[in-house]
Chain A
C-alpha cells in the first residue's frame, strides 16, 4: 500500500532547499571531477621550446601537448599541472618529426645485393630517432617482386615509419645489371602493387642506375601515371650523360623528383656520369634548372656517398637555387663518410647559409607534400605526435662533401628528444627522465 504523505508549507520549502543544496553539491562535484580529469588529460607536455611548424606558420615559443599518440594542443603557456608528464625543453627547438625522403633500409642478409634484402640497406631504427627522423622513405630498394618481403621483414618490424618508392625494376636494387633489364620494368605490376595492394606505404616509383636512353625513366613515369604517384630519378650512369634538360622538360611531370641534385659526377669508364645543375666551367646554375623548378619539378638532395659536392651546392645556393627537399641517401657507404646522418646533412645547409626555418620546411612539410602524405610533417591538432626536439649547438664545426673537401660552420643540430606517435624513442640527455636516487638501506 502506498503511503500518502502530507506536507506543510515550511516542510515544502525545507525539501526544496535540500533539493537545491543537493543539486548545487552535485554540480560542484561534477565540476571538481571535470577539473581533476582535465588536470590529467594531457599525457606529455613539451614546455618552453621554440616551435617551428612551417605548415602552420608557427615559429615562436610554444608549448606542445600530447594525448595518446596525437597532438592535442599547441599554445603559449599550457599549465604544467594539466599534464601527467612535463618535459622542460627551454632553449631547444621543437619541430615535426623529420622526414628523410631518400634512404635505403631494406636490410637483409644477401651480401651479393646492393640494397635489396642486403646489409647495404641499413636498419631503419639505427639512424632515424637519434637524428630526429620519424619517417624514412626507402628509395627503390625493392621492386614489385620483393616488396612483400621488404614489408614483412623490415617495414612491419620497424618503430620508424617506413614508406617506400617502388623500384621500376621488379627485382629492385640487386645488382647494377638488374637495373638495365627493361623486360623487368612492368608499369602494370608496379601500379597494381602501389594502388591496389599498398597505397598507404608506397608513395612513388624509382628509376636508377640506368645506362641506356630514357626507357627506365619513361617506364617509371608510365607506372606513376597509372598509380597517380610521383617518380624519383637517380640519373647518374650514362656515358655520355643524358640531357637533364630533356629529363626535366620532356619526360618529367610536375611533381616528379630529381635526386642527387648537387652531385658533380665525373664520367667513369664503368658507370658513366651525371650532368650537373651548375655549369662546371662558369659555375652558374643552368637557366633551365630554375625553369624546371618553376614547372614543379622537385629537386631532392639525396646526399649519399657520391652525390653532394660543395662546388655545386654553394654556387647554387648563392644564385638563389634552393633544393625542395633535404634527404640523406642513407646506406652502408654513406653512413660513415661525409653524409653521416640527417642532422649532419641539415647542419650542412645551415653552414652554407640556409635559415633554420628553411631547413625544417625542406625536411618536414615539403617532403610530406612531395610524397602526397599531407597527414605528415606538421603539428596540427589531431595529427600523429611525431616530434623532433633539437639543440642548436654553437661552436666550430666542419662539414665534408663526397670529394673530401670541407666547409666550416658555427652551428650544429643535435637531436635531443624524439617522439614517435607520442612515445619517447630517443632521449640524448635524459630530459624526459627523473634523477637517480640512492636506495634506502634495507636491513
Chain B
C-alpha cells in the first residue's frame, strides 16, 4: 500500500478520533446539568436579575443562570413558565426548638417545648429554605437544640440565642438578670460561629435596658447583631432611646408593626412606631437611616393593619419580612411565610421589594452573604412560586381583615438542589407514562 495512502488514513483516523472525542465531550455536556428550571421569571435582587431566565443546577449548587439554556443539556427539566423563581426565602424570625419540656407554669414553652414548631413543617411549603430561630435557646441549652433539632432538619436552621441562659422558657425566666451573661453567651456563639448569628433580648418587664445592654455586650464580643422583642415593661420604655442610645447599626427591632395594646407577652404594651395621629414618628426614619434594622416578626400578636398601612403610606418599609412562627401564630393571622409576604403584596409592595426583604436583606442582616441569592456556585436553595389572582382576605393580630387580590403560593422548593416541596408535581412524570 502506498505510504501516502496510509498517511492519509492515519490523518483521517486521527480526525475521526478527534471528532469522536468531541462528540463524547458534548454527550458529557448534554448530561452535565442535574436540573434545569426553565422559562420562569427570575428575581434575584443581589444580582440585579429581574426577568425570564433559566436556572441550571449541578451537584446541589447553582451552575448557571442565563436565558435559553438548552433542555438537552440537563438530566431533568422543570417547566416554570408563568412562575417566579427566586432564591429560597429566609425567614429571619421563627421558633423551632420543638420539644416536650413543661416549664411548670404558664409560659411560652418555646425553649425545647410545645410552643415551638418543628422546622420542616412550615418551611418548604411556603418557599422557605432557611429559618433563623429567634432566641428559643440560650447558651445553656443551645447544644441540645443543635443535637435535637438543627442536625435533623432538612431546612437550614440558624439561630439567635437568647441572652437568658435557658432561652425562652417563660416570662419568669425572662426576668432573671443574673442568668444573662455576655461572657458565656459569647463563648457558645464562638463555638458555633456558622449557626449562631446573633443574640436576642426579649420579654423583660423591668424598667431598664439590662437585657438589651447585656445582649449588646455579647454582640460586641462576637461582632454580631442583636434582635430585640421590646415592650414588656410598665410604664413603657422609649423606643427612641432603644434605637438611638443603645442599638448599634445593624441591630434589629422586631415586631415593627405591632399596635399599642398590652398583651400577655407584652404586659406594658409596646410603643408603636406611629403616633396617635397615625404619623410615623420622625426618629423612626432617622433610626433606619442610621442602620437600625426593622423586622416584621408577625407572630400571634405583633402585626396590626392600622400600624402597617399607616407606615406604608408614609413611605416607611421594613428591612426584613419574617413570620415569628410559633404555636400561637401558625393557625391565626400569620399562618406561614407565603401568607405574610402576600400581605405586603396586597398593601402595594412590589414583588421585587417583597423578595429582597425575604432573601438578600435578611442574609445581610444575619451576616450570611453566602445565602439569599442565585450566584453561580451558591448552594441551590430555590423557591419557585406563583402569584394567584382572586379575592383573598388577610387577618392581622387584632382579628381584622384587609382584602386583597393576590396570593403567593409555593410551587416548587429546592434545598441544596433537592426537591423539598412540589405542590402540583412540576418535577413528576405522568403516571401512565411509566411502563411497568
- A interface residues with partner B (beta carbon < 8 Å): 107-109, 111, 117, 119, 122-123, 125-127, 129-130, 153, 157, 280, 310-311, 314, 332, 335-336, 338, 340, 396-401, 403-407, 425-431, 433-439, 441-443
Contacts and interface: CB of A to CB of B under 8 A. Distances in A.
Contacts of A108: 99-100
Contacts, number: 144
B331 A406 contact: no
B351 interface: no
Interface in B322-341: 327, 330-331, 333, 335
B277 A443 contact: yes
A153 B427 CA distance: 38
Nearest to B426: A398
Most-contacted residue by chain A among B118, B403, B426 (CB, 10 A): B118
A123 B421 contact: no
A105 to B, nearest CB: 11
Contact of B148 (A109, A123, A427): A109
Contact of B112 (A109, A125, A396, A429): A109
B422 interface: yes
Contacts of A401: 431
Nearest to B434: A405
A433 B278 contact: no
B400 A438 contact: no
B289 interface: no
B209 interface: no
Contacts of A427: 395
A431 B425 contact: no
Contact of A433 (B114, B154, B330, B401): B401
Interface in B120-175: 120-122, 124-125, 147-149, 152, 154
B400 to A, nearest CB: 4
Interface string B276-307: 11100000000000000000000000000110
Nearest to A313: B431
A406 B431 contact: yes
B399 interface: yes
Contacts of A280: 436
A442 B276 contact: yes
B331 A122 contact: no
Contacts of B121: 122-123, 126-127, 335
Nearest to B404: A429
A306 to B, nearest CB: 16
Given A130-B331, A401-B431, A439-B306, A153 B122 contact: no
5 contacts: A332-B118, A336-B154, A398-B424, A398-B426, A406-B429
Given A107-B100, A398-B424, A437-B306, A430 B395 contact: yes
B415 to A, nearest CB: 10
Nearest to B421: A336
A149 to B, nearest CB: 9
A125 B154 CA distance: 21
B343 to A, nearest CB: 11
A404 B427 contact: yes
B387 to A, nearest CB: 14
Nearest to B399: A433
A443 B425 contact: no
A285 to B, nearest CB: 16
Given A119-B98, A280-B436, A405 B393 contact: no
Contact of B331 (A336, A398, A399, A426): A426
B149 A405 contact: no
B100 A310 contact: no
B229 to A, nearest CB: 23
B396 A109 contact: no
A157 B422 contact: no
A425 B331 contact: yes
B277 A441 contact: yes
Given A109-B99, A430-B401, A311 B436 contact: yes
Given A123-B121, A433-B400, A435-B400, A311 B152 contact: no
A280 B398 CA distance: 56
Contacts of A338: 425
A126 B330 contact: yes
B428 interface: yes
Contact of B327 (A125, A398, A403, A443): A125
Nearest to B144: A109
B392 interface: yes
Contact of B120 (A314, A336, A406, A434): A336
Nearest to B151: A111
Contacts of A311: 431, 434, 436
B249 to A, nearest CB: 32
B112 A405 contact: no
Given A310-B431, A336-B124, A336-B125, A126 B420 contact: no
A427 B428 CA distance: 31
B227 interface: no
B117 interface: yes
Contacts of B154: 336
Q: Which of B114, B330, B424, B431 has the most CB of A within 10 A?
A: B431
Contacts of A314: 431
B312 interface: no
A158 B420 CA distance: 27
Contacts of A157: 114
Contact of B393 (A310, A407, A431): A431
B121 to A, nearest CB: 5
Nearest to B419: A404
Contact of A399 (B306, B401, B425): B425
Contacts of A436: 305-306, 309, 396, 398, 400-402
A122 B118 CA distance: 8
Contacts of A437: 306, 400
B392 A126 contact: no
Contacts of A396: 424
A111 B148 contact: yes
B394 interface: yes
Between A127, A435, A436, the greatest number of chain B beta carbons within 10 A of the residue's beta carbon is seen for A436
Contacts of B396: 436
B2 interface: no
B430 interface: yes
Nearest to A335: B121
Nearest to B400: A436
A153 B100 contact: yes
A434 B401 contact: yes
Nearest to A264: B436
A117 B306 CA distance: 43
B346 to A, nearest CB: 11
A405 B430 contact: yes
Contacts of A111: 147-148, 152
B436 A119 contact: no
Given A436-B398, A441-B278, 4 more contacts: A108-B100, A397-B424, A430-B333, A441-B276
A251 B232 CA distance: 62
A254 B100 CA distance: 38
Contacts of B125: 336, 340
B428 A405 contact: yes
A404 B426 CA distance: 10
A210 B398 CA distance: 51
Contacts of A406: 424-425, 428-431
A434 B398 CA distance: 10
Interface string B345-389: 000000000000000000000000000000000000000000000
A429 B392 contact: yes
Contacts of B395: 427, 430, 433
